Amino acid sequence: MKLELGEIHIQGFSFAEVSSLKGGHLQLSKSELEQYIRSLHPQITEVETAIVNPGDSVRIMPVKDVIEPRCKLDGGCCFPGFNPGEEEIVGSGKTLALKGIAVVTTGKVVGFQEGIIDMSGPGADYSPYSALRNLVLRIEVDEHCNQYQHEEVLRRVGLMTARWVADQVKTTPAESVAHFETLPLAEQLAQHPDLPSVGYVYMLQSQGLLHDSWYYGIDVKKMVPTLMFPTEAMDGAIVSGNCVSACDKNTTWSHQNNPVIQALYRRHGKDLNFIGVILTNENVTLSDKVRSSNMVAKLAEQMQLEGAIITEEGFGNPDADLMMNCCKLEAKGIRTVLLTDEYAGRGGESQSLADAHPAADAVVTAGNANALITLPPMQRVIGHPVYADMIAGGFDGSLHEDGSITVELQAITGATSELGVHTLSAHSG
C-alpha cells in the first residue's frame, strides 16, 4: 500500500467573507462554516467558532478531540466508516494535509476525563496542541441527548469539519509530497532480508463507558487484534472517541501524525525493516486480555518479527494488557520496547504502573501524570472552566477565584502522550 501525503504549511489563519488560501494564509468563511456545522446533526443547539494562535491568552476546556484537516485528492475520503457509502479502505492514493492547524472540539463535558489546552503560559509547554493555530468549535446539544449521543455529535462535528476545511483548498498544489509504502507481508520481509524485522503493536483504548476508539467507524472493543498497513492511520482509519485522562488520550490528530509510525518509516531500509502494524484493543476482563494478547503474539510470529514497539493508551487497567503483550512476544524471542507514562503520585512516591513483568526491561516513559501544576488565569476561556474541579486531574478547589487552576498534569491534553506526541524530554545531570 502506497500513500502520497502532500503538505501545505499554514502560516496564518483567520475568518473572512470568502474561504481562500494565499501566501500561506488560510481564511475561512465563518458564516459558511457555522452553517455547515449546524447541518451535521439536528440536536446541535449552539455553535461558537473561534481561531486561536500560539501565544494567545486563551484557555480551551474541556477539550473533546483535536483533528488535523486532511482530504483525499483522488477519490475516497478521510475518516471512513462514519457516513453511508464511505466504507473504502484508506491509506493509499493521494492525501492533502494542512500542517500547523487543527480543529479542536469543546462544549459541556461529555465524560469527566476531558482536558485543558492553554495557548500560552506554563500549561502550553505541556500540550503539543498549543503550538498549533486552532479552529475551536464550542458545540452545545439538545438537553435530551445522553452522554453517548453527545459524544457522537462532537465526534462527527470534529471529523467532518476537518474534512470541510481541507476541502476548501484541495485545488492548491502541495508544498511538499512525502511517499510512504508498505508491501504485502512476503514482499516486505524480502525487501531488506539483512535488517531486523520490526513491527508496531498499537494499543487502542476500548474499555467502554465512553472509553472508546474507532476503526473504520467500528468501536474497537468489538474487534480482535488485526494487521493494519501503517498508512491507514494517516488517512483517519483510527479515530478518537474516548474520555480517558486528557494527558494520555490519543487524539485523532495524534493518530494521524503518529510519531512511532513516522520514525519507523524514517529508519526503514537503514537499520530496520518496518514490516507493519498489529492493531489491538485494551480489554476489561481477564479472559479478554488473555485472548487479545495471545492473538497479538500469534500475529507477531506470523509476521516473523524480531522486534516490536508497543504503545499503550491510558493507565491502570491497560497496564495489564501492556505487560501481557510484552511478555508473550518476549517469550517467542521477539524483543520489545514499551512506551507508557507513569502515575507515580504527586511526589513520585507511588508505584508507577499498575502491573509489571521482568520481561519489560526496555521502557520509555512520557512522564508522571500526577505532578501538580498551576495554570495562570487567561484573558479568554472557550468552553466551561467550571469543570476544572471534576475532570480527571482536578479536585475540589482546583478552580481559583482569579481564574487560575491547580491540577495534575493528567488534566492537560497530550501532556504525557504515550505515542510521544510532545516536546518534553529528560536528561541526566
Catalytic residues: 243
Residue 23, Cα to own-chain centre: how many angstroms? 29
CA separation for the pair 151, 154 (Å, rounded)? 5
CA atoms within 13 A on the CB side of 188: 24
Q: Which element (helix H / strand E) includes 271?
A: none
Residues 6+ apart with CB under 8 A from 69: 97, 98, 101, 102, 103, 162, 163, 165, 166
- Strand pairing partners for 219? 214
Q: Write the single-letter amino acid at 102.
A: A
CA separation for the pair 95, 3 (Å, rounded)? 7
Report residue 386 as a C-alpha cell: 467550571
Report residue 38 as a C-alpha cell: 449546524
CA distances from 342 to 205, 313, 363 (A): 17, 12, 11
Burial readout 231-253 (b: 16 or more C-beta within 10 A, e: otherwise): bbbbbbbbbbbbbbbbbbbbbbb
CA distances from 163 to 207, 336, 394 (A): 28, 36, 33
Backbone phi and psi for residue 10, each to the nearest 5 degrees, phi listed first: -85, 120
CA-derived radius of gyration, the chain:
21
CB atoms within 10 A of CB 49: 18
